[in-house]
Amino acid sequence: MCRRASKMAGSSIRKSCLPKIKSSRKMPKSAGLVDISDCPPPWRSWPETNAVISALQDEGGVVRFVGGCVRDALLGIASEDIDIATDLLPGAVMQGLERAGIEALPTGLDHGTITAVCGKRHFEITTLRVDLVGHGRHADIAFTHDWEVDAERRDFTFNALYLDPTGELIDPVGGLADLKARHVRFIGNADDRIREDRLRVLRYFRFFARFGDDNPDAAALKACAKAAGDLGALSVERVQKEILLLLATETPLAALELMKETGVLEAITGVPVNLSRIASLLSLPVESDALLRFAALLHCDKDEVSRLSAKLRFSNKHKERLTHMCGKNISREMDERDQAIALYWLGKQTFADQAILLWAELTPECDFRQYLDRAERWQRPPFPVTGRDLLTHGVAEGAALGQLLNDMEIRWVESSFRLTKEELLREFLPDA
């Protein structure tokens, strides 16, 4: 293995994030909903929440929590992103917050959104609105006092649940029943909701992966399939975010299968996708993250992984890790010495990534837990020779010194890290 490449592989894992054995704990999708009137979510009692609500009410506004924070509270899921809807106009929202000494940021002023910063908490506050003309991500809008109209312009029924500060739940579009049934359903006509924002196709599958049961919505799937050919016009950064969020869900396989059936997955990847490798990966008794799953989705084809991660504008850090995990430096029958050498050149993260992907390729029956345990315990031994040592022994600065140091390190690793500095110097510089 190339020393330069190996150092790159090891450099991105200063903090180990090696996979753990899977826990058996899993919230059943059929579990009932939380009674949030008796058991309000933790964020409801934050002092910052009360300060923001009081500031808006003192300005004369009706205020309700909405969207993901309400949905997640009903499911018993902790949430830090708190969205608030109000009938106050944006100017009045800013005025009320500023009067209360709360910082008000006009993060989406044209669309009625103000971010309140109270202590370390952020609250996104949006004026009730109706979308007039859609433009992909944004739309021409008008402000309204009609809560039902505001609900109808949202995406999915369970994202249009409102919670009054008194604890009353308002459900204008049937989201509560859908959430209880784990049914992901567009509000109104699915074609219309997707036409307003094509990204909702990917959001449908992500929400199905998180919350859906074995009951995909037929109208939603038909609309998603119809829109698959238009997904190329989406911002690649938004597509990347949705794909990684979907892959990071606990059980993404059913959603990926639906994406394949509707043509959405091929529209995103640009190639026909076989889901057997990712299915095998997900069946392993170890955890895997979104990047491992992304590589498995493309069968660890280094060229395809590199192409798609570049197309979707992954971060350099993510692209580097993906490149190394597809390097195929790990084999099935490596003894402890070979594993130690591979760990030295690759680093813990790349070694573990490659071992897991090979495990998925060779089916779950080929247990690689010993490889992963070794990686978890691995402590990289320090190479005993430095450039200063070579200078002291008369080696001139320059490329020759670097090459000599590289050759000595390779020899030391091949000795299973046993050769001492003195032995290496005698072997490589016998006349010094």
Tens of pLDDT, residues 276-329: 999 999 999 999 999 999 999 999 999 999 999 999 999 999 999 999 999 999
Closest Cα partner for 1 from 350, 294, 386, 427? 350
Burial of 365 (0-12, 13-18, 19+ CB in 10 A): exposed
Answer whether residue 15 shows pLDDT above 70: no
Higher model confidence: residue 257 or residue 367?
Answer: 257
Long-range own/partner contacts, residues 254-257 (CB < 8 A, 24 or more apart):
254/208, 254/209, 254/212, 254/214, 255/205, 255/206, 255/208, 255/209, 255/212, 256/205, 256/209, 256/297
Predicted confidence at residue 19, as pLDDT, reads 72
Average pLDDT over residues 74-87: 95
**From 63-67, 104-108, 154-158, 315-319, the region with the lowest mean pLDDT:** 104-108
Angle subtended at Cα 294 by Cα 289 and Cα 300, rounded to the nearest 5 degrees: 115
Domains and CATH numbers, the chain: 34-180 (3.30.460.10), 387-428 (no CATH)
Query: φ and ψ at 329, to 5 degrees?
Result: -95, -10
* 124-150 pLDDT, tens digit each: 999 999 876 554 555 577 999 999 999
Rounded Cα gap, residues 36 and 42, in angstroms = 10
**Stated pTM of the model:** 0.88
Q: Are 291 and 258 in contact (CB under 8 A)?
A: no
- Across the range 67-79, mean pLDDT stands at 95
pLDDT (tens digit per residue) in 333-367: 899 999 999 999 999 999 999 999 999 999 777 88
The predicted-structure confidence for 181-213, as pLDDT tens digits, reads as follows 999 999 999 999 999 999 999 999 999 999 998
Local structure of residue 43 (DSSP, 8 states)? G
Strand partners, 130: 142
Return the pLDDT at 133: 58
C-alpha–C-alpha distance, residues 163 and 171, integer Å: 9
Residue 167's identity, in one-letter code, is G
Closest CA to 219 of 254, 239, 192: 192
Mean pLDDT of 369-392: 96
Q: DSSP readout, 146-176?
A: -HHHHHHTSSBGGGS-EE-TTS-EE-TTSHH
Which residue, among 76, 169, 54, 179, has the nearest Cα to 123 in the 3D structure? Answer: 54
Name which residue leads in pLDDT, 106 or 14.
106
- Count of beta carbons in the 10 Å neighbourhood of residue 25: 5
**18-24 mean pLDDT:** 64
